[in-house]
Amino acid sequence: MAKATTAPEAPPASDAPDLMEATTLYRSGKFDEAARRYQQLLQAQPKSPEVYAGLTRVYLKKKMLQQAQETISKGLTVADSPPIHVALGEVLFREGKLADAEREWLNVVDSGHNDARAHLGLARLSIASTQYKQAKTEIDKAHALDPSDPDIQFYWIRSQGLGAGLIDSRHECRLDTERVPIETDLLLLSGDRPNQVRGYGLPVSVNGQNSTLLLDTGAHGIVIDRKIAQRASLTKISNTAVGGFGDQHNSQGYFAMANVVRIGKLEFQDCTVTVVDKGSVLGEDGLIGSDVFQDFMIDLDFPAKKLRLGSLPKRPDDGNGLESRQSSTGATGPFDMKSGDTVVAASANATPSYTSVANRPLPAQFSFAFVPAFRFGHLLLIETEVGDSIGKRLFAIDTGAARNLFSVSTAREVAKVQENSRLAIKGLSGSVNKVYDAKKTALSFGHVQQYADKETALSLDRMSDEIGTEVSGVLGVSNLRTLDMTIDYRDGLVGFDFSTDPAASVHP
């Protein structure tokens, strides 16, 4: 936890409102006023777990992570109880410590405390680990316990009418032809310097208009330049804004309907695409997120410059992801923290159908080269070991980024950083204001270990705030270009294999 700072002076305890008033303000989105009320309550009830939990959630909503960390740390010392541990799980989830968050919530549920927000947390984690039926079960439990909680309402409404609780990011296209396995060429996109790889593209036809779109595992759907849209005579549906890297405003654009989109031998019909009003900052005609192909097994063979699509393997338990988690003995109490992958089932109230992140089922055909990924909409995050001392962090797989990127906070944990005013990084949200250089760092992910003499760091707070968990870095195409990468969006799995293809020896 971060070092404590002096909290703002609270109003006199005699003016303290009741807990319901503070909670109502929080649930109404009046976070500043809710924070003041909770601080008043702490003067009158300095050992109230509900007050510490409530104030922690206010700080998380206000994107004040350090204050949330400080508040829950103090709460643990004076009011160690289920509400504190549920809120602690929410802080850990935001910090990117997903397994730790899961242990907090499961230990509360297993101890017999039927806490709505513990089930909400387990639902969010199940979504991220692509266990959608399990997510539906957990959010239904949360909603039954507290239907007025707006966070629970949000996830519960999204889960309705979606079969097995599929709450992921879907591309809006109807597949007209399905020929698998199929293969198409990846186009090498050069950077500003000789022999620099900026990315890989795909030849894409939109209503018969040919274009080259950057293949971007960090993007959703199809985004095209206004000129392509005009030539393709696309029908505008509604206005929107498109965001990405950058510290300025999002790019203005609109949704449009494309009758036919062809990518190699695949043909999609009735596709909703996003049109960027201004000229593409990418230098191409637009980009295409790899989630467009999420109904297939996706093989991105960068050294061979090939995209291959195949059928997804049969999933155990008919794709439900429902297996009884392993139990162990030796718990010393309802909140006993056990090391390792299994979670203690402390009482008969344990939920036997819950499958923990560490034990989620995998198709039998998958080899050791595959590692679990956490899915947040279109983003895939994988555990990445940084350096030799700070352990694992969550990094986004982003072929739309030309280089690896570290969050500034992560870079400072492993190396000395200094601002580099000469390095310009641009995205769909304009230029990045402050870019930093970090010294040589080792990265290990998915049975792959790589080194770089110099890394780039910048603020990733915007990305982390949007998805609700900490993104400590980005694995860009400069590191991925030597690998044959396979993606299974359905099961939340990514595989990495080395290639010795001489064509891969292009310098970033």
pLDDT at 447: 80
CA of residue 501 relative to chain centroid, distance:
32
**Residues of the domain holding 450:** 362-504
Residue closest to 124 by CA, chosen among 84, 147, 163, 94: 94
Residues in the chain, how many? 508
pLDDT at 381: 97
Are 218 and 118 found together in one domain? no
Residue 357 lies in a domain: no
Residue 8 lies in a domain: no
Q: Strand ranges (DSSP E) for 167-279? A: 174-177, 182-185, 187-190, 197-206, 209-216, 222-225, 235-242, 251-263, 266-276
Domain end residue (candidates: 159, 182, 204)? 159
CATH number, domain of 116, equals 1.25.40.10
Residue closest to 383 by CA, chosen among 359, 402, 357, 363: 357
Residue 431 lies in a domain: yes
Are 198 and 300 found together in one domain? yes
The label of the residue with tokens 């409530």 reads 54
Exposure string for 145-179, b = 16+ CB within 10 A, e = fewer? beeebebbbebbeebeeeebbbbbeebebeeeeee
Residue 356 lies in a domain: no
pLDDT at 444: 87
Divide the 508 residues of the chain into consecutive groups of 10 and give the mean pLDDT of each group.
44 57 96 96 94 98 97 95 98 97 97 96 95 92 97 91 47 70 91 75 95 93 91 90 60 89 90 78 79 93 94 66 31 27 33 80 74 93 84 92 86 73 56 66 82 78 93 90 93 82 38
How many angstroms separate the CA atoms of 496 and 196, rounded?
22
How many angstroms separate the CA atoms of 70 and 78, rounded?
13
Are 178 and 152 found together in one domain? no
Are 120 and 59 found together in one domain? yes
Provide φ and ψ at 422, rounded to 5°: -90, -15
How many angstroms separate the CA atoms of 258 and 122, rounded?
38
CATH number, domain of 305, equals 2.40.70.10
Are 370 and 476 found together in one domain? yes
Are 61 and 151 found together in one domain? yes
Residue 355 lies in a domain: no
Are 187 and 131 found together in one domain? no
Are 21 and 81 found together in one domain? yes
Residue 166 lies in a domain: no
How many angstroms separate the CA atoms of 463 and 30, rounded?
23
Residue 316 lies in a domain: no
Residue closest to 278 by CA, chosen among 303, 246, 304: 246
Are 130 and 220 found together in one domain? no
pLDDT at 73: 97
Are 366 and 283 found together in one domain? no
Residue 120 lies in a domain: yes
Are 243 and 136 found together in one domain? no
Are 154 and 178 found together in one domain? no
User: How many domains would you assign to the chain?
Assistant: 3
pLDDT at 418: 66
pLDDT at 422: 58
Beta-bridge partner residues of 216: 289
